[in-house]
Amino acid sequence: MAVLPPPLSSPTPSLFSFRPSESPAKPQKLPPTTPPPPHSVADEPPSSTSSSWVETLRSHARSDSFHAAIHTYLSMTASGVPPDHFVFPAVLKSAAGLHNLAVGRQLHAAAIKSGHIFSAIAVPNSLITLYGKCADISSALKVFDRMPERNQVSWNSLLAAICMFDEWEMALDAFRVMQEAGFGASSFTLVSIALACSNLGRHNGLRLGKQLHGRGLRVGLYCDGRTFTYNSLIAMYAKLGRVGDSIALFHQFKNRDIVTWNTLISSLVQNGRFYDALTILSQMALSGLKPDGVTLSSVLPACSLVEMLDFGREIHAYSLRNDVLCENAFVASALVDMYCNFGEVSKGRVVFDGALEPGLGLWNAMISGYTQNGIDLEALKLFVEMEEAAGLCPNATTLASVLPACVRSEAFNRKESIHGYVLKRGLGSDKYVQNALMDMYSRVGIIEVSWKIFNSMGAKDVVSWNTIITGCVVCDRFKDAFKMLSEMQRTKKRTSEEEELGKEKIGISHQSDCYKPNNITLITVLPACASLAALAKGKEIHGYAIRHEVDVDIAVGSALVDMYAKCACLSVSNRVFERMPTHNVITWNELIMAYGMNGHGKKALQLFHRMVARKEVKPNEVTFIAVFAACSHSGLVNEGLELFKRMKEDHGLEPNPDHYACVVDLLGRAGKLEEAYRIIETMEPGSQQAGAWSSLLGACRIHRDVKLGEIAANHLLQLEPDEASHYVLLSNIFAVCGMWDKANEVRQKMKERGVRKEPGISWIEVGDEVHQFMSGDLTHPQSPQLRAHLEVLWERLRREGFVPDTSCVLHNVDDDEKEALLCGHSEKLAIAFGLLNTPPGSAIRVAKNLRVCNDCHEATKYISKIEAREIILRDVRRFHHFKNGSCSCGDYW
C-alpha cells in the first residue's frame, strides 16, 4: 500500500502519533473492477479536453454510477489526460461506494504521484471516507494525521470513520480535540457523536447524549429542518432505553420523512415495544406515506414476537399489492422468518418459491426456518440444492443455520465431515463459522475439539465466549462454564485492527477494554446456576447485570426467575417476575413450575388462572405440564383432572403423550393405580405411551405394587430397552418387597444389555466454588473428615430415634453393610460438607440429579432438627425444605 510522505508545509498539531512513514510504493496500473456497462450513446468517450472528462466522471459519481466513474477514469488516463484535484474526490467516492480497497489504495498512490494529494482539501477528505468504508481505519488515521490543514468536513469524515469501527470513546475524544482546534459541530458531526453516545451504556451514554442534544438546540442545529439529525436523536434515545423520549421527539418534528418513521418503528421493535411499533405502522399508512421495504422488514419480527400472525399476513398482502416483495429481498426474508417462527414453514416456502431470483439471504432464511422447526432433512436438502442447482456459494450465515441440522439429523451420520467441507470452502478461519463449529462439537459431546477451535482463534468476540460457555453447560461442565465467565471478564480485547493500529501509540487516551458479558451470556450461564442450585453465583451474575446496565430483556428476566426458583428463593423469583414489564409464556411457565416443585400447588393454580385472565399470553403445552406437575406434588387430584378434561375445550390444546404421563403420575402418586392404568389404555398404543408407563412404574414403586409394576416394566423394556431407569425402578420394587431373586434377575439383564445406571450426584455451593459428590465418593479432599463427621452424626441420629431404611439398598447384603452404603449416598456427603464448611444456623442448599431415597429423606429430617439448620434439597422431581424435623412435602413425593 502507498503510504503518505510527511507534508511539505508545516502541518497542524498531530492528533494521532504514528511512526515515520516509509516511502510511497510505485503506483501500479489500476486493476479492472467489473466489466463496463453495455455501450450506448451516453457512454461515448468525451472530447479530449480535460474539463469534459472531469464533468463526465463527476456526473457518474453524483448519480452513484460507480463502475462507470472508475471506467471513465481509466479511459481518461489511458488517453493521456492527467487527473486533477477535481477528479480524485469523484473517483475516490466511487471506490468507496464499491468498498474496493485495492482500487482506493492505487488511487491514493496516483494522487501522491501527481502531486494532488494535498492540492485541494477534498482529496484527503475523500481518502478518509474511502478507508473508513473499506475497513482500513489505520490508513484513515494516517491520512488525517498528515493533512497540512483540516476543515469541518475533515473532522466529520474522521468521526464517521472511527464510528464505523465501533470506537465510541475514541470518537468522543476526537470530538473534544476537534472543538479545542476551533471547529464547531455541524449537523453531520452530531449524527456521528449521537451514534457514539448510544453505544456507551445507559448511564454515561444518556448523560453525554443529553449534553449533545442541548448543545445542538443552543446553536440551532435542529432548526434547519434536516431530518437526519432528528433521526439520529430518535435512534440514540431508543438505544439508551429512553423510548419515551424518542416518541416525544418524533411527534415534535413535523418534517418527518420515511426514514424518520422507519427509525421509530425499528427502535420500538428493538426495545420490545412490539404493539407500539405496529400502531406506528398503522399511523404511517393513515398519514398517506407508503411503507417501504425497510419499514416492512423492520416490523415483521414484531408480528412473530406478539403472536399476531394475521397482522403479518396483512403485511404480506400489502407487499404483494405494492410490488414491495419483488423489489426488496429483505422483506421476503423477513416473511420467511415470520412464517417459520409461527411454525408455518410451508407458507415460508411459498414465499421462497415465489421469489424470481432468490438471493443468498433468502436461501439462508429458508434453511434457518427448516432448522429451527426441526425439519432437518429438508434443511440439508435445501443446502445441497442451493449450491448445486442455484450455484450459490454458502457463507457464514448459511453454515451457522445448517450446522444444527447436521448435528440432529440421523441422515447426516458423519457429523465431523461438515468441518472438512468448511475447510474446503476456505471458511475455516471465519470467526462466525468457527463459532458454529464450536457449538456443533459441544452438542455431539466432543467439547475438546471446541476448546481447540476456541484457543486457535485470533480475534475472538463476545459470541465466541458465549459459544464456549454454552458448550460447557451443554456438556454439564458447569465449573468450566463459571471459570470461562470469569476469564472472559479478565481478557483484554485485541482485535486484528487494534493489533495493526497499536492503540498504545495513539495520542488519544482509551480505557483498556475487556470482554463484557451480554444478555446472551447471562441466559447461557444462569441455567448452570439453576442446575447446581448455585445461588451465590446467580446473585453475583444478577448484580453484574444491574451494575453494568446489561439489557435485562424478557429472556434474561425469565432466566433469573428460573434461577431463583430452582435455588428455592421463591420470594425473590416472584419479585423478579412482578418487576418485569412484560412476560412471555416461558416466564409464566417457569414460575408456575417453581411453585409446583416447592409443593405450593394451590399457588401454582392461582398463577395459572391469573395468566389466563390477563390474556397477556396464551397457555401452551408446557404450561399444562407445569400445572399437572403442581397438582401431582400437592395431591390436587380433582383439580388436575378437571383441567385435563377442559384443556381442549377452553384452550384449544389437544393433550399430547406428555400430558397423559402427567395425569398418570397425578393419579399414581395418590394411590389410584388402577385408574391411572385405565388412562394409559385409552391412549393410542406405541412409543408415545412410554412416558405414561414410566409414570405408572414410578407410582408402583411408591405403593409397592409388584403386579402392576411388572406390567408397566414389560411395556417399557419393549419400548425403551436401553433406558436404565426402567430396570432400576423394577429392581427397586422387587427389592423393597424382599424378592431378591427377581431383583438380581433384573440387574443381570441390565448387565447383559450393557445398560448402566446413572450414578447419583449431588452439588453444594460453598463460597465461590460448587462442590460435587457421588455416592461412595472418596475423591474429595475432605473425604476423611466427611466420613468421620457422618459416623458421629449417624450415632446422634440413632439416639434421636432414627432407624435406617435398609430397603433402599438394592443389594442382598447384611444390614451393617447396607447402613454403610446408605451413609455414603451423595446427598448425605453434600449435607455433611455443608455442615462442616458453613456458619452454624445458615441454610444448606443441595441439588441432586436423581430422586432422593426414603432413607436420605428421613435422615435429613432428623439432621435439620439436631443441627438446627434449614436444609433445602432439590432432587429431579421437586424441592424438599427440611426444618425442625419435618419436610415441606409432608412425605408426599
Count Cβ atoms within 10 A of the Cβ of residue 109 and give its class: 0-12 exposed, 13-18 middle, 19 or more buried.
Answer: buried
716: domain range?
656-757
Nearest to 833 by CA among 879, 766, 778, 760: 766
Q: Is the pLDDT of residue 626 over 50?
A: yes
Average pLDDT estimate for 315-327 = 86
Average pLDDT estimate for 338-346 = 93
In this structure, are residues 463 and 435 in contact, taking their beta carbons and an 8 Å threshold? yes
Q: Are residues 794 and 868 in the same domain?
A: yes
The proportion of the chain whose per-residue pLDDT surpasses 70, expressed as a percent, equals 90
Nearest to 382 by CA among 410, 331, 430, 348: 348
The pLDDT assigned to 12 comes to 38
Q: Is residue 36 part of a domain?
A: no
Q: Is residue 26 part of a domain?
A: no
Q: Is the pLDDT of residue 508 over 80?
A: no
Q: Are residues 703 and 794 in the same domain?
A: no
Average pLDDT estimate for 406-427 = 82
The pLDDT-based confidence of 689 (bands split at 50, 70, 90) is confident
Return the ∠ at Cα 70 (arms to 68 and 75), rounded to 5°. Answer: 90
Q: Are residues 777 and 871 in the same domain?
A: yes
Of 55-69, 544-558, 596-610, the range with the lowest mean pLDDT is: 544-558
The pLDDT-based confidence of 813 (bands split at 50, 70, 90) is low
In this structure, are residues 467 and 435 in contact, taking their beta carbons and an 8 Å threshold? yes
Distance CA 167, CA 775 (A): 53
Q: Is the pLDDT of residue 515 over 70?
A: yes
Cβ contacts of 76-82, under 8 Å, gap ≥ 24 = 79/45, 79/48, 79/53, 81/48, 81/50, 81/53, 82/50, 82/114
Q: Is the pLDDT of residue 166 over 90?
A: no
Q: Is residue 562 part of a domain?
A: no
The pLDDT assigned to 366 comes to 95
Q: Are residues 883 and 799 in the same domain?
A: yes
- CATH code assigned at 732: 1.25.40.10
390: how many CB neighbours lie within 10 A of its CB?
A: 14
The pLDDT assigned to 49 comes to 62
For residues 613 and 428, the model is more confident at: 613
- DSSP class of 568: T
Q: Are residues 742 and 771 in the same domain?
A: no
Return the residue matching grid coordinates 486457535. Answer: 456
Q: Is the pLDDT of residue 17 over 70?
A: no
The answer, as to whether pTM is greater than 0.75, is no
The pLDDT assigned to 492 comes to 75
In the chain, the N- to C-terminal Cα span, in Å, equals 74
Question: Exposure pattern of 563-574 as b/e (b: 16+ CB <10 Å)?
Answer: bbbbbbbbebbb
Q: Is residue 664 part of a domain?
A: yes
Of 357-371, 508-522, 873-887, the range with the lowest mean pLDDT is: 508-522
Q: Is the pLDDT of residue 871 over 90?
A: yes
| Helix 706-719 × helix 673-681 angle, to 10° | 30
Average pLDDT estimate for 517-534 = 89
Q: Is the pLDDT of residue 6 over 50?
A: no
Nearest to 6 by CA among 18, 17, 20, 16: 20
Nearest to 715 by CA among 702, 735, 730: 730
Length of the chain: 893
Q: Are residues 748 and 813 in the same domain?
A: no
Distance CA 155, CA 183 (A): 8
Q: Is the pLDDT of residue 336 over 90?
A: yes
Distance CA 96, CA 433 (A): 27
Return the residue matching grid coordinates 422488514. Answer: 297
In this structure, are residues 584 and 558 in contact, taking their beta carbons and an 8 Å threshold? yes
Mean per-residue pLDDT of the chain:
84
Average pLDDT estimate for 804-812 = 66
The pLDDT assigned to 828 comes to 93
Last residue of a domain, one of 702, 737, 757: 757
pLDDT digits (tens, 9 = 90+) for 102-116: 898 989 998 888 888
Last residue of a domain, one of 738, 757, 776: 757
Q: Are residues 878 and 840 in the same domain?
A: yes
The pLDDT assigned to 751 comes to 86
Q: Are residues 703 and 779 in the same domain?
A: no
> What string of DSSP letters covers 760-829?
PEEEEEETTEEEEEETT---STTHHHHHHHHHHHHHHHHHTT----GGG--S---HHHHHHHHHT-HHHH
C-alpha dihedral, 850 to 854 to 858 to 859, nearest 10°: -60
Residue 853, phi then psi, degrees to nearest 5: -80, 165
Q: Is the pLDDT of residue 13 over 80?
A: no
Q: Are residues 790 and 869 in the same domain?
A: yes
Q: Is the pLDDT of residue 658 over 70?
A: yes
Q: Is residue 225 part of a domain?
A: no
Average pLDDT estimate for 52-56 = 85
The pLDDT assigned to 9 comes to 33
Nearest to 626 by CA among 665, 602, 595: 595
- DSSP class of 392: P
Average pLDDT estimate for 714-738 = 87
Average pLDDT estimate for 777-787 = 89
Q: Are residues 770 and 748 in the same domain?
A: no
Q: Are residues 740 and 774 in the same domain?
A: no
Domain count, the chain: 2
Secondary structure (3-state) at 1: coil
C-alpha cell of residue 437: 463449529
| Side-by-side strand order, sheet with 871-874 | 769-774, 761-766, 844-848, 871-874, 879-883, 886-887
224: how many CB neighbours lie within 10 A of its CB?
A: 9
pLDDT digits (tens, 9 = 90+) for 448-504: 999 999 999 877 888 899 999 999 999 988 889 999 998 998 887 654 444 444 443
The pLDDT assigned to 807 comes to 64
The pLDDT assigned to 22 comes to 34
pLDDT digits (tens, 9 = 90+) for 289-304: 889 989 999 999 998 8
In this structure, are residues 94 and 70 in contact, taking their beta carbons and an 8 Å threshold? yes
Which neighbouring-strand residues pair with 844? Answer: 871
Return the ∠ at Cα 338 (arms to 625 and 521), rounded to 5°. Answer: 65
Write the CB contacts of 576 (distance below 8 Å, at least 6 apart in sequence). 557, 560, 561, 564
Average pLDDT estimate for 309-317 = 91
336: how many CB neighbours lie within 10 A of its CB?
A: 29
Average pLDDT estimate for 302-322 = 89
Q: Are residues 784 and 827 in the same domain?
A: yes
The pLDDT-based confidence of 223 (bands split at 50, 70, 90) is low
Last residue of a domain, one of 726, 757, 788: 757
The alpha carbon of 73 is separated from its chain's Cα centroid by a whole number of angstroms, namely: 47
Q: Is residue 569 part of a domain?
A: no
Q: Is the pLDDT of residue 653 over 70?
A: yes
- Determine how β-strand 871-874 pairs with β-strand 844-848: parallel
